[in-house]
Amino acid sequence: MDRAKDRGCDVFQIFSQSPRSWNSKSLSDDDAHEFVSSFRKSGLALAVDHMPYLPNLASSKDDVHEKSIDALTSELMRCQMLRIPYLVSHLGSHLGAGWDEGFKRIVEAVDTSLSQADNGVILLLENTAGTKNSMGSSLEEIATIIDAFDTLRPGLGICLDTCHLFAAGYELRTPEGLQATLNQFQELIGLERLMLLHINDCRGAMGSHLDRHEHIGLGQIGENGFRLILRHPSLKDLPMVLETPVDSRRNDVANLQAARKLASWPE
């Protein structure tokens, strides 16, 4: 939280536990109270939580799937304790079992966890770049998952990652391409489900299915693409999180400044 404030952020994303472990330290009431109190004093607008990397909601392995449901339920409860309204989750990999099997596993996991937690925290399903066996790389796939639930079911939304979206084959660099992508989102899912953006440039070409994030404006989406994305009427007021690389070329502050400059580019 202090890092986000020091860098001039309005919104920040955290892992509430180690992102690369199944075993999480229990969150004490004192820890939660300290976080909530610090956030209220920080002046920051929004905190978002992200699921750890090991859970796989689409896994065809029963033991992994059961552990993933437990992890998702636990993380939803941790969000409630921390007063964090959004939890972002990858959809996972079907591990070669096929999309239909992965779909059934995801629906079971999401339904079970949201029903068990039932605490008002909104689970945001994140789109993927379309790497081998991954789930949710197309808007049609995400729509199929959303449609498996009551269309009015609370607690379920979407986080769009720009790198993943572009790598999956969606044009974001031209006004016509971006609008066509958003029109498709509206038709299949509904823009009211879109609650968060992960703003990342992409090292790979459009449709490459390469999940490699790049600094804002330095990748294949480029500065012009981000001018369009950051200024689009349907997107510009959404909370946005940067997940750009950590390397010697540009730091977090420089990426934030680049995004803000492109967002305020004159007509």
Same-domain pairing of 96 and 184: no
Q: What is the CATH number of the domain that holds 19?
A: 3.20.20.150
Same-domain pairing of 121 and 181: no
Same-domain pairing of 106 and 156: no
Q: Decide if 177 contacts 171 (C-beta within 8 A).
A: yes
Domain boundary among 96, 125, 154: 125
Same-domain pairing of 131 and 97: no
Same-domain pairing of 220 and 145: yes
Q: What is the pLDDT of residue 259?
A: 96
Same-domain pairing of 176 and 246: yes
CA distance 48 to 16: 10
Domain boundary among 125, 148, 167: 125
Same-domain pairing of 148 and 267: yes
Q: Tell me the residue range of the domain where 41 lies.
A: 1-125
Same-domain pairing of 67 and 175: no
Q: Decide if 200 contacts 239 (C-beta within 8 A).
A: no
Q: What is the pLDDT of residue 265?
A: 78
Domain boundary among 89, 107, 125: 125
Same-domain pairing of 117 and 132: no
CA angle, corner 239, sides to 187 and 265, nearest 5? 90
Same-domain pairing of 164 and 154: yes
CA distance 138 to 59: 19
* Bridge partner list, 200: none
**Interhelix angle for 29-42 vs 62-82, to 10°?**
60
Q: What is the pLDDT of residue 22?
A: 86
Same-domain pairing of 15 and 147: no
Q: What is the pLDDT of residue 9?
A: 94
Same-domain pairing of 86 and 193: no
Q: How many structural domains comprise the chain?
A: 2
Q: Which residues are the active-site residues?
A: 20, 50, 53, 90, 126, 161, 164, 198, 211, 213, 243
pLDDT in tens, the chain (267 residues): 888 988 899 999 999 998 888 887 889 999 999 999 999 999 999 999 999 999 999 999 999 999 999 999 999 999 999 999 999 999 999 999 999 999 999 999 999 999 999 889 999 999 999 999 999 999 999 999 999 986 556 679 999 999 999 999 999 999 999 999 999 999 999 999 999 999 999 999 999 999 999 999 999 999 999 999 999 999 999 999 999 998 888 999 999 999 999 999 776
